[in-house]
Every structure is written in C-alpha cells, then in structure tokens.
Amino acid sequence: MQGDFSRTTFDPLKHYSAVLAQQGRVQLDADFNEQAAILLRQLRTVVADLVGPARAPADGGGFEITKVTDGETAKPAREDLAISRGRIYVDGLLVENDLPGATYWTQPDLRLDPDADELPAEGAFVVYLRVWERLVTALQDPAIREIALGDPGPDTSARAKTVWQVAALAVDATEVGAVEQEFAEKLAGFRPTGLLTAQAKRPPSAADDACHLPPDSLFRGHENQLYRVEVHTGGQAWWAGGSTDTARRSAVLSGATFKWSRENASVVFPVVSLSGAVAKLGSLGRDGKLGLEVGDRVELVDDATAGRVADDVAAAEYPVAAPRLRTVVAIDAADLLVTLDRQDGDDDCGLGANPFLRRWDHLSAPDIADDGAIPLVEGRWHELEDGVQVSFGGPPSSGGEDAGVVGTYRRGDYWLIPARTANGDVLWPKNEFRPPNGVEYHYAPLAYVSGDEVDASLRKTFVPLADGSAPLREEPKPKTTSGRRKTTG
C-alpha cells in the first residue's frame, strides 16, 4: 500500500504472536502496523480453517447470483447479474455487500467499461468474486483527518479497505466438478512468476580494498527511504523474445514496464479540476522534497482507476498498456495550476471521484516506454538512485537452454526496499530473489452460467457452529431462470 511508512516488518514465517512495547522507547509506525498484521493473520487463518477457503453463511450470506436483464432501454437488452446482499468469507477475509439491488453493472468497487466488460455473449462462464485490500487516505475519505489539528491538518493515519469485485471468466467445461477444476487452473495463470532482488551498488574493486571505497559505492542517500518498485504495464518481461537491445528500444510497447518511488508512492496531490491537460490542484505539497517540479512524472488516479489494478488475464499474453504516466511541463504556483504533456489518446476528461496526481521518481531512466514507465528487463541491474539497484528474474523458460528466463508480471504488483543511511545499504538479503509484497488477491467462484441457467452450487455455504454440534454443510442451489425485469442501480 502506498502509505508514508518507514518500512513493513511483518513476516509470517517468524511466527510472532505479539509486538511488545518497552518503556521509554521511540514509537515506530512499523511496530504498530506489524501488530495489526499479526492479529489479522490469526483471525483470518482461524476463519479459513473453520469454514474453508470461500463460504457464505447459510443465514445472512450474500453474493448469491441470479441473472437479470434490463429490457427497458433504447439499446438492445444488456445482460446483467444480480448480487444479493450479505456477507461471505474468502480466505478468512470478511467481504460484505451492503447495497440493495447491486448488480454486475452497478457494483460499488469496480467501474465497468460498457464495451470491454460485457458479459460473455456466447458459451458458458463462471461468475467469481475477486477480493483485495487497497489504501484509503484522507484524500479519499476526509473523515480520516482530525480537523482539530488544523484545516487542512496532517493526515495522521490511513486505512486499509477490503475491496470486492464480481467478474466473469469463460470456461469450456459443463459439469460442476470440471468447471471448478478449469476455474482453478485459470486462476493459477493469473499469478505472476517474476521475482526481484535489490542491492546497494558495490564496485568490483570493493573486495580488494574495503578501506578505500570510491564515492559512488553503497547507498549514498542523505535520508532513510522506503523505495517502491511497482509494475505499471503487466505481461512478460520486456526482452522475453530475445531481440537485440537496439531493436527493443525503438519498438512500441512490447513487454512489462515498471516505475519506482523513493517515498513508497505516498506523494500525492488532490486534483480540484482538470481542463484539457491543465490540472488545478488542492496543494503543491508540504515542501520541496514532497512537492512537484517541472519534469516530474505523475499518474492521474481516481477511485475508478484505482479499482482497475487487477486485470485477471494470463500474464503471458501480449501486454495491454496501462494508462500513460504523464510529465509535468509547467507549474503556476500562485494559482496551483499544473500543465501535463499530451499525446494522442490521452484521456483528459471524465475523472471520477477523489482524483489526485501521484508522483513517481524515475526521471533519469535511460529508456522510457510508450506508457511512460521503464522497460522491465530481466537479468540486469536497473539503477534507481544513490546506488540502489534492482534486478528482475523468473523461472527458466521451456524454450531450451539458450532461451533464458522469462518471468511474468501483473500490473500493480510491487516490492518495498528500505534503504538506510546508518549502514549505507538496503535492508534486503544478499542475492535473494523475492516475489512481490503485493497486491494479494483472493478469489471465490459464485456461479456457473450457461444461457439462461444459473447454477449457484459453486458458492459454498456453512451453518453456524454455535453449540459445536452443527456440522458444515453445503446447501444445494437449484438451477434458476429469471425473466426480464428492470435493473436498478
């Protein structure tokens, strides 16, 4: 999550049960956040062990799917799915739908494209639930900020929000057991395989004379930082096809890209209005370090785009470019106006709720892809700044010994790299490649749809264990057909 954190310290493999404060010590955000993570993991593990990976209560459960159609529009009837109110547990996470009359097209956490997100017109498909957590700050929810500290005062904390999204996935199987198996196999294709390692650069001569290191060795920053390396456009690594460097640099977007921030991408600026390429901001930051300058790369974000991070497509497919990162070309500090660069296809209108600019810090990257990010190349060191370097890797390719490694990367996934001035290094195990810190997605099948029939048996239920005698059971759901009725938002 893109908060202003010092670092994240929770590691489930250490099996810590509590964070214990000591008297007279400095209080750190990392300690408080690790305590919350310990408790959440325990609670969610208990729930998952009791009810299974994805189940809804038999009484009060939600997310039951029925098929409806809006037949009272000027356009041809649009297929839709009704989503019942209630709750469900997915990998132990409590997921709640509080909206009466919620449907596939009116779900709260996912704004759908009327053309690209139509339900499959032909063949059968699985309706499934995607669950993840996103950061919410005082920019999205002003009630988080304590106005007694000033208006606008400091944002003392942020919130983690459980996001749920209902999606559809085409399948070939027809029997319930085979459908579940095919769905599980396709889920495995969503998982990225690419890894990353980090280091603070050490020159080749360092081992010969450790007492006389050149000035460009190790971490040279003046402040402690939490670097964030995030996948911008997902897909295979940029040079997966083995093309020469020169050919790839001159080509259009042909692989995954990444961006990075020294402040964990927490430097953001509220957008009051957007006219063409000119954005009026609510502020230009607290100081120069956390402000905007001409040449900075920024990302236009609102609630809708923040909810479109997960694409749930096989990462090996040809990349679909993420919205282009923009460059600041002019700043009017008096009127808080920022002018962004423009290209054909840039969307300069239609911002949704709570828009803001997020600053990224890859200004001096030698190569920039069409989406404004850095080509994600495996097997080499990418220089961030002040000696901090990262290298991407992945599993061996099946194309033979000379094919190299080809990792796949999912849009929005990220790694966090703490860098400290005390030891002039990054807090990262030497030569260890790690999977992303997040985003962690959780999935649950809800229904199998074929024509007008909806088989809701994919959605599992459980009865309460109040007296210890009621066993878990699955309540079979009959196949349902529904007539045409008006869909309400």
In this structure, the answer to whether residues 333 and 284 fall within a common structural domain is yes
Asked whether residue 436 is domain-assigned, the answer is no
Beta strand extents in 84-234 (DSSP E only): 86-90, 93-97, 124-136, 159-171, 195-200, 225-231
Taking the C-alpha atoms of residue 361 and residue 371, their distance in angstroms, rounded to an integer, is 15
In this structure, the answer to whether residues 318 and 203 fall within a common structural domain is yes
Asked whether residue 420 is domain-assigned, the answer is yes
Name the domain count of the chain: 2
Q: Tell me, what's the pLDDT at 115?
A: 81
The pLDDT tens digits of the residues spanning 203-253 come to: 554 455 555 555 556 677 778 999 999 999 998 888 644 444 444 444 567
Q: Across residues 157-176, what is the average pLDDT?
A: 93
> 390, 196 in Cβ contact below 8 A?
yes
In this structure, the answer to whether residues 306 and 268 fall within a common structural domain is yes
In this structure, the answer to whether residues 348 and 388 fall within a common structural domain is yes
By CB atoms closer than 10 A (0-12, 13-18, 19+), residue 448 is: buried
- Which residues have a Cβ under 8 Å from the Cβ of 307 and sit 6 or more positions away? 109, 110, 111, 134, 163, 165
Give the model's confidence band at 348: pLDDT under 50 very low, under 70 low, under 90 confident, else very high. low
**Which whole-number Å values give the CA distances from 364 to 197, 259, 288, 297, in the listed order?**
21, 12, 18, 11
In this structure, the answer to whether residues 181 and 62 fall within a common structural domain is yes
Taking the C-alpha atoms of residue 306 and residue 309, their distance in angstroms, rounded to an integer, is 6
**Which whole-number Å values give the CA distances from 488 to 78, 102, 104, 118, in the listed order?**
13, 8, 11, 17
Site of tokens 């038999």: 58
Taking the C-alpha atoms of residue 323 and residue 476, their distance in angstroms, rounded to an integer, is 43
Residue 75 has pLDDT above 50, yes or no: no
Site of tokens 């929000």: 161
Taking the C-alpha atoms of residue 69 and residue 354, their distance in angstroms, rounded to an integer, is 31
- Taken as a whole, the chain contains a residue count of 489
Give the count of beta carbons closer than 10 Å to the beta carbon of residue 323.
17
The pLDDT tens digits of the residues spanning 269-328 come to: 999 999 889 999 999 887 778 899 999 999 999 988 888 887 777 665 567 888 999 999
CA 200 and chain centroid, separation: 26
43 — phi, psi (to 5°)? -60, -45
Domain that residue 381 falls in: 195-426
In this structure, the answer to whether residues 313 and 449 fall within a common structural domain is no
The pLDDT tens digits of the residues spanning 250-276 come to: 456 788 999 999 999 999 999 999 988
Q: Give which of 291, 358, 277 is closest to 325, Cα–Cα.
A: 358
Q: Across residues 82-96, what is the average pLDDT?
A: 96
- Whole-model pTM: value is 0.86
Q: Tell me, what's the pLDDT at 395?
A: 53
Q: Tell me, what's the pLDDT at 247?
A: 43
Q: Tell me, what's the pLDDT at 257?
A: 93
In this structure, the answer to whether residues 184 and 202 fall within a common structural domain is no
Residue 19 has pLDDT above 90, yes or no: yes
Q: Tell me, what's the pLDDT at 131?
A: 96
Asked whether residue 78 is domain-assigned, the answer is yes
In this structure, the answer to whether residues 168 and 213 fall within a common structural domain is no
The rounded radius of gyration (Å) of the Cα atoms in the chain is 24
Alpha-carbon torsion (297, 230, 240, 371), positive or negative: negative
In this structure, the answer to whether residues 57 and 112 fall within a common structural domain is yes
Residue 176 has pLDDT above 80, yes or no: yes
User: What value does the mean pLDDT of the chain take?
Assistant: 84
Side-chain-side CA neighbours of residue 424 (13 Å): 9
By CB atoms closer than 10 A (0-12, 13-18, 19+), residue 464 is: exposed
Q: Tell me, what's the pLDDT at 246?
A: 45
Q: Give which of 345, 359, 168 is closest to 262, Cα–Cα.
A: 359
Asked whether residue 233 is domain-assigned, the answer is yes
426, 454, 471 - which closes a domain: 426
The pLDDT tens digits of the residues spanning 426-485 come to: 999 998 999 999 899 999 999 999 988 999 999 999 998 765 555 555 555 656 555 444
> Which helix or strand (DSSP H or E) is residue 336 part of?
none
Asked whether residue 133 is domain-assigned, the answer is yes
Q: Tell me, what's the pLDDT at 472?
A: 57
Q: Give which of 425, 429, 363 is closest to 220, Cα–Cα.
A: 425
In this structure, the answer to whether residues 220 and 350 fall within a common structural domain is yes
Q: Which two tokens stand for residue 31?
A: 């300690």
Asked whether residue 3 is domain-assigned, the answer is no
Q: Tell me, what's the pLDDT at 294?
A: 94
In this structure, the answer to whether residues 199 and 86 fall within a common structural domain is no
Asked whether residue 475 is domain-assigned, the answer is no
Q: Which two tokens stand for residue 150?
A: 């000033």
Asked whether residue 388 is domain-assigned, the answer is yes
Give the count of beta carbons closer than 10 Å to the beta carbon of residue 385.
18
Lowest-confidence region among 88-102, 180-194, 313-327 = 313-327
Q: Tell me, what's the pLDDT at 215?
A: 56
Q: Across residues 74-93, what is the average pLDDT?
A: 84
| Start-to-end C-alpha separation, the chain | 30
**Portion of the chain with pLDDT greater than 90, in percent:** 55
Taking the C-alpha atoms of residue 317 and residue 169, their distance in angstroms, rounded to an integer, is 16
Q: Tell me, what's the pLDDT at 238?
A: 84
In this structure, the answer to whether residues 211 and 289 fall within a common structural domain is yes
Between 314 and 357, whose confidence is greater?
Answer: 357
